[in-house]
Structure formats: C-alpha cells, structure tokens
Chain A
Amino acid sequence: MKRSPAASLLARLMPVLATTAVFIAGFLICSAAYPNFASLRVVMNLLTDNAFLGIVAVGMTFVIISGGIDLSVGSVIGFTTVFLALAIERWGFPPLLAFLVILAVCAIFGAAMGAVIQYFELPPFIVTLAGMFLARGVSFLLSTESIPITADLYSHLADHAVRLGGGARLTVPAMIMLAVVLGGMVLLHLTRFGANVYALGGSRTATGLMGINVPRTTVAIYTLSSVLAGLAGIVFSLYTSSGYSLSAVGVELDAIAAVVIGGTLLSGGYGFVFGSFLGVLIQGLIQTYISFDGSLSSWWAKIATGLLLFAFIAFQQLTLHLARRPRRRPRLATAGAAP
C-alpha cells in the first residue's frame, strides 16, 4: 500500500536527476564532438546568452508549481525593453529610476492578472493570454522600431565582468541570473511562501482549508512572475543595448519548456528551481552545439526541445501512473446531505 519514504524521496528527485544526467551527457557529447567546447568560456557564454531566459524560467517555475501558467512573460520582456529605451533615451529617466519604475509597473500587471484568475475563477492560461496580447500591444503602441540605448550605465555594465581567464567572463546578466536562481531556490524551498506555493499545486481546496490565504498567495505568485519577467527584460536590454517591441517573442514557450525539462510537473505540485535552471542550460547547449556545428540548422533546436518535452512529459505521466496505481481507493457512495 505504501512506498518507503526514501524511495518516494528518490522518486521526487528523479526528474531533476534525469535533467542533470541529460545536461551532463549533452555536455560530454558536445565536448567529444568539438575539442574546444569544454571550456570555461563556453560555459560562461552559455550563462550570459541565456540569462534572461533563466530569470523568466524561475518565475515560471513558481507559477507552474502552483498549478498555473503564465503566457505573458515574453510580451512583458518586450514591453520592458521598449519602455526602458524610451524612458532612458527619450524621456530622460536615469536608468536606475527607469528600472524601478518598470519593475513596479510589471508588479502591478502581474498582480492584476493574479487577481483576475483568483476572483473570477478563470483559467490562468486564457487570462495570461490576454495579458500577453495587452503587453505586446502596448509595447507596439509605444514604438515599433528598435531603439538603441546609449546611456553610460549600459556601456559600463556591458564592460563590467569578472574575468576568469581563458577569455571567460562572468558578465552582469549572468550574475543577475545566478542571483535570481539562488534567490528563487531560497524562496521556494526555504520559506513559508514557498511551501504555500507547493501546497496550492498539491490541492487548492485543501490549502484553503488549512487556513492559508489562497488569494494572496495566488496574486503574489503572478506578481513574482511578472516582476521577474521585467527583470529579464532589463537584462535583455543590457544584453542587446536596445529596446524593441518584437523582442523575446515566444520566450514564454522556451521558459515553459525549460521548466518542464527541468522536471517540474505541468499540472503543479512538484518541481525545483534548480531543475528549471538546468532546463535553460540544456536548451542553451542545443543552441551552442548547433552554432558550433555550423552545418546544422536552427530548427533542430526546436525539434530537439519538442522531443525532450515529450520525453519528460511521458516520463512524468508514467511515474504518476505508477505512483497512483497501488493507492486507488474504492469510491464509496458518500453523497453529502446538502443538495
């Protein structure tokens, strides 16, 4: 009737262990194929190139573990870059003030989506879809052209990096991403809020009955996701030194894929921030391999991501099925008295 707790813990860690194995295997394969692949420089570039995706994926992990989904993040990134470019270049905001303002705007945006999901009992996917249209549309309205950002802070931050030898540089975007991943791990795994997020994904009704403030938690989760998307937008603008309303189209899909490949259950309740981080790196690895190869085309990245997605979802479905089978309970006729 029951599995031993140790086995169950292993089963819980299984997906993230599998992700780790996939990443290591992938890295070894790449290194075997290209001798100069296995270098600190490649790893650091991996971090820098995928910094914005990593940040978004952390927020997405919270959302998905709580049993929701956030399709708006790509558009929020695009909106953020356009807003920053305009604020800094046209409206004369100091960059840091612009950062603060945009993060506040994103927070309000996320809180609004969370509130609509909570209070109108609408599916998160369609509400955040509306959010996606809205954010993208507003950024188009702000500007449709790519605006370069020339502020001193940007060039300064671009130059600023920890040099690790061999041409390897730990850049500011990479540092921000690593900090967010660490912060996300602490928040999700070590705080009351994190436990509430898991509880929501495990059982929404039970969480409410246990006295947890479900509405507040839901709003907080979507706020967090949008704020992190805003931060990813800041990093994206640092990375490209420009703002463009068409930037980061489809990033929500990459982020969801990274989270799933990282071992998080799309139906909620299970997952790790670190897994999502690895999921991002695996996607980056595929891209890097393709660029090293030169002859391979970029579409293989999508197919490979799709295959990985399927493999992980099928794997999850199988483990869920196996975990549930011995625990099937007889369904008794237990209708309540209330009609």
Chain B
Amino acid sequence: MTKSSRTPASESPEFSLDSGAMRSEPVVQVQALVKRYGTKTAVNSLDLVAQAGVTAVLGPNGAGKTTTVETCEGYRKPDSGTVRVLGLDPVRQSAELRPRVGVMLQSGGVYSTARADEMLRHVAQLHAHPLDVDALIERLGLGSCGRTTYRRLSGGQQQRLALAMAVVGRPELVFLDEPTAGLDPQARRATWDLVRDLRADGVSVILTTHYMDEAEQLADDVAIIDAGRVIAQGSPEELCRGGAENTLRFTGRPGLDASSLLKALPADCTAAELTPGSYRVVGKVDPQLLATVTSWCAQHGVMPDRISVERHTLEDVFLELTGKELRS
C-alpha cells in the first residue's frame, strides 16, 4: 500500500518550489500511467503535468481521455504508474481530495426525477461554502427549467446543470469531460465564459474536448492524446507554430512553371498548381518566403491574385499528429 505512494511524483513539488520561484505545484501530475480493460490497453504509459490554469486534453475517440481524467477523479485505480491531484492520491486520499475538486461527468449524474434547482441545491448542501445557487442558476440559464425533472430537460440543460454541479462547491480544480458536446452556440459561449471566469478567479480547469476551437479559445496548455499516450503538449500557439507547415495560396495565369517556382524557394517547400490557375506553396511561410513568391511572380509577369497565407490551426496540428483516418 504505502510503497508506491513514495514516488518522485509526490516529492517533486518540493523540488520545483526550490528551483523556480514563479512555478507553483502542478495541479495534476500523471506519471507512466497504465490502465487496461481486459486485454485492451486504454492508457499506455501516459505522462501529463498540468499547471494551474486551463488545460485542455484533446484526442480522438478512444484515445484514453476519459480514462485518464477518471483516474484523476479517483474513479479508476491505475494498473501501474502514479497519479497526483493537488498533490494527493485520488484513490487513497479521496476523502481529503473530493471536497477540493469539482467533477462534471460526460453524461448523467442526476436523479431522473429531480429538478435542476433541487439537485444543484443538494450538491451545494454537501459543501461548506457553496456558491450562491440562485445566481448560478441565473447565470447558466437554468431558471427556465422550472419544475421540469431531469429526464425531461434538453441535452443542453442537462449539460449546464452538470457544469453547475461541478463548480457550486467552490473547488480549486474542476474536471470537465466534454463540457460543450452537443451544445448550441449560445450555451457553448456561456460555458466558455464561465470557464474564463473560473480561471480568472484562480480555479484550475482540466477539460477534455473534441473541439479544437474550444481548446484554442480556453486553454493555457493543450495535451494531445492518442492511443493512450500524450503525443504533444504545449500552449495552442506553441503547438501551431512547432512542426506544422503553413500554406500560401495564390491564383494567376494557368500553366505557370511550378518547378521554376520551386527552384526559387527554400529546399523544404513544395509548390504545385492544384487546378488550372490555382497555386499552392507549402512550407515554413514567413515574410521572406512571401517576398520570394511575389518577386518570382514579378519576374514572370504574373499578377498573383487572391494571395493568402493560411496559418495552421490546432485542428491541422491535431490531424497531422493523429492521422486523418476515422477511428473505430
């Protein structure tokens, strides 16, 4: 029992306090986490460190996002590896940890015959210093639910109730498992605004999502998970900058000599005429490259029409890293 709790993971916060004055203790530390269901390995030696702020966990279906988060929430015991949340073991120190953490499950979690306000008030009663329930109901637009029981609420209302239940206890850390899946744009925005306010007030958030724009909008840090491992982690800007290639497009006279253009470009670029008169350059697009392309056009008497530079989005990075084929 006690042997595995004395690991570097549980001690490193003290070291990091010594080494960096600005760095505080990570809110989540996952080291070499392995979790199997029968013969299937859901999480395969996963390492993840989440600092205070908003961390988005991105990944295709079946990548191991929910398993990882639910291990942090104390629902699953690691087969091996260590997990620390706010410095605590989520399974063995569950009683100490639970009041400090808010949990939004992917679905369900409410009595089918309970009303939204009734359930939220109940969860509030389990905490010592809950938020003002009426204000939270108002803020998340749950006031219109009235006497409707949970099973008759719309999917969006059910999601927002689950979100409210996760934050009502004034936790230090909130886990949101796909908080905006299936929400309409207004509800999605309301959720984003709440996450931003939580962050501004010093609450850390770990959220899983399929939506790249959600991660780009909200997250300080993004971890991309695939096949049970973290394959990339960094701020949205870092991830979009690093590795990913950008695209420059322009239209001009059909039949220009793309190989001649290619000769003018740096070695790692590609150039092609996609459809007659429509050209694409792929490579590290910087001011120099843009200048090279326009001067090549000038030399060849071409007016580059509709010239555009496409910055890579997180979605491109995501697809590059995880592949484009559909996951079963």
A binds B: no
Q: Which residues of chain B have a CB within 8 Å of any CB of chain A?
A: none
Chain A residues near B (Cβ < 8 Å): none
